[in-house]
Structure 1
Amino acid sequence: MFAALRRWRRRRTADRMQVSPERWQQVEASLPFLDYLPPDERPRLRRLALEFLADKQIHGAEGLVLGDDILLSIALQACLPVLHIGLDAYADWVGIVVYPGDFVIPRSFADDDGVVHEYDDEVLGEAWEGGPVLLSWFEPGDALEGVNVVIHEFAHKLDMGNGEVDGYPVLPAHMPAAEWAGAFKPAYEDLCARVDRDEDTGFDPYATENPGEFFAVMSEAFFETPGLLKTGYPAVYDQLARYYGQDPAARARTAQEAHTEDAKLSL
């Protein structure tokens, strides 16, 4: 009952929000990977983004003022992975904190002798189980190439759906867990070996930290550089396509073919 009430409230609030087509286009122009969406899914993503904003509490940190463009950009990116999964996948928390660039989180750990070591960890983002998502914000021209902090951290939130950040989100009934593991485990081990050999893989080496980071980085690649992922780890791409219910590589390939044809005609 409470889940249904929450859905009703966020839809009702979203109904009252008004964003001009010009503003949508302006924000989306800074997110070129949205071009991999079929055109008829763009309105659906926009609507989901409004419901997301109606459901979450987003605050700027360290003096960062969150204008409408920043809020819409974060919402669009956060909702892209759940476009066919649904916002209920993000239902157990409400807070998002946005920093102006990378930020520091104090850490501590105890070694084998029981000695506690404290240090400052400089990060781009972090997702806390049952708690907020922490994000760094960069203006479009300053963003790190090939890195999508929002998709990365929200992939972690999906991963937490089963209580652990282990690279195994809650899978729909039509996806056997054995097939997921059969695709992800060897790909993770292969990437770790290639990074150890100092190969340039095209993927963020941070993916080799653990299987949870591998899932998050591969999710970034799925939406941002789908052709690279499909070529490098096709079994992982196929599993993510089934999980997210999207096929961005197909749209990317069509766009590339159209670009090549236009180039031929201009000769």
Structure 2
Amino acid sequence: MPMIIITSVALLIVLWLASEPLLVELRRRRIRREPFPAEWREILRARVPYFRVLPADLQLQLKKHMQVFLAEKTFIGCAGLEVTMEMRVTVAAQACLLLLNRRAGYFRNLRQILIYPGAFIVDRVQTDGNGVLQDQRQVLAGESWTQGQVILSWDDTLDGAAVIDDGRNVVIHEFAHQLDQEKGHANGAPYLSHRSRYKRWAQVLNTEFEKLQAQADSGEPSLFSYYGATNPAEFFAVTSEVFFERPQEMAAHYPELYRELSEFYRVNPLSWS
């Protein structure tokens, strides 16, 4: 009898685990069927001009993704900041750009978005070139953690949303990191659609990463922020910003890199303007 009970319990656990993804998708479908709130639409008009350049089908898709995102993610105000619906919608609209036309996992590891009023200070211990530990204080506009948090400066979030063609967007940057971190760590090689794509991805991104490093060392101007020369993970996040905000220049000067990012994100921002 005990063996029968153990077997039955094990079977129930297996059935529950198998049904959980289905239940999640059913819940998300129900959320996506709900009307898009008028208040959110007004916030999009006021704060996210990028929304207006999207084709109608992608506008609808973005709104549906936002509904799920806002239903599932927790927002926390830091340093006395009270999180408003304006903040939630503005962040969600930019983050969900990265989910268009993809099998949306809604940043599956992400649980919380922490928002500071402005740039925030982080104290870290880092090793210098001689192996000596040093305390370093950094002023940041955003950060993405593998533990399931994204931290954002609200001032920088607003600036990134307001100017859609400067190649600088802290939300796109940090949520690109979240995609990269889905495998547990960020190294500039997020999950791709097929194993065969990794070789080409590595060739193209490594070539352009090394080129940016050389430009940063020499002071030569670049379409990309020198911050992208820090490591491959930052390069992926920086080029993601430019891909969405300055696609014409990227496609003209970095066609292979643009092609790789277009295949990854499954959109072509060149066709939006």
TMscore range, shorter length: 0.7 to 0.9
User: Relative to structure 2, which stretch is displaced further, 206-215 or 194-203?
Assistant: 194-203
SS of the equivalent of 1:157 reads helix
For the pair shown, which has the larger CA radius of gyration, 1 or 2? 2
Q: Give the aligned residue type for 1:43.
A: L
* Counterparts of 2:64 and 2:155, CA distance in 1: 24
Alpha-carbon distance, 1:185 to partner: 1.1
Query: Which 4+ runs in 1 deviate beyond 6 A?
Result: none
**1:156 aligned to which of 177, 189, 212:** 177
Counterpart Cα distance in 1 of 2:198 and 2:156:
39
- 8 Å CA contact retained: 2:118, 2:156: no
Identity %: 35
Q: Is the 8 A contact 1:10 1:55 kept in 2?
A: no
Distance 1:236 1:175, change over 3 A: farther
2: CA distance between counterparts of 1:163 and 1:241?
A: 23
Query: CA–CA distance in 2 between the matches of 1:199 and 1:32?
Result: 31
- Structure 2 counterpart of 1:263: none
Whole-Å separation in 2 of the counterparts to 1:236 and 1:2: 37
Count of matched residue positions in the alignment of Structure 1 and Structure 2: 251
Q: Does 1:7 align with 2:25?
A: yes
Alignment-derived partner of residue 100 in structure 1: 117
Counterpart position of 1:90: 107
Q: Which moved more, 1:225-234 or 1:33-42?
A: 33-42
Match of 1:166, SS state, is coil
5+ residue gaps, structure 2, are 1-18
- Match for 2:93 among 56, 61, 76? 76
The answer for unaligned runs of 5 or more in structure 1 is 253-267
Task: Give 1:1-267 correspondences, 5 Å limit.
Answer: 1-13=19-31, 18-20=36-38, 23-88=40-105, 90-109=107-126, 116-138=133-155, 142-143=159-160, 145-173=166-194, 176-252=197-273
Task: Measure, in 2, the Cα distance between the counterparts of 1:218 and 1:135.
Answer: 19
Deviation at 1:194, TM superposition (A): 1.6
Q: What TM-score do the two structures reach when normalised by structure 1?
A: 0.84
Answer yes or no: is the 8 Å Cα contact 1:94–1:132 preserved in 2. Answer: yes
C-alpha root-mean-square deviation of aligned residues, in Å? 2.5
Change (3 A) 1:111 1:17: same
User: CA separation in 2, counterparts of 1:153 and 1:202?
Assistant: 19
Q: 1:60 to 1:14 in 2, by over 3 A?
A: farther
Deviations 1:165-203 (CA, angstroms, capped at 9, x unpaired):
111000002861111112111111111112222122132
Give the drift of 1:137. 1.1
Q: 1:139 to 1:174 in 2, by over 3 A?
A: closer
AA partner of residue 60 (structure 2): P
Deviation at 1:84, TM superposition (A): 1.9
Query: 2: CA distance between counterparts of 1:23 and 1:93?
Result: 22
Contact 2:116 2:154 in 1 (8 A): yes
Q: Which moved more, 1:199-208 or 1:167-176?
A: 167-176
Deviates more, 1:224-233 or 1:205-214: 224-233
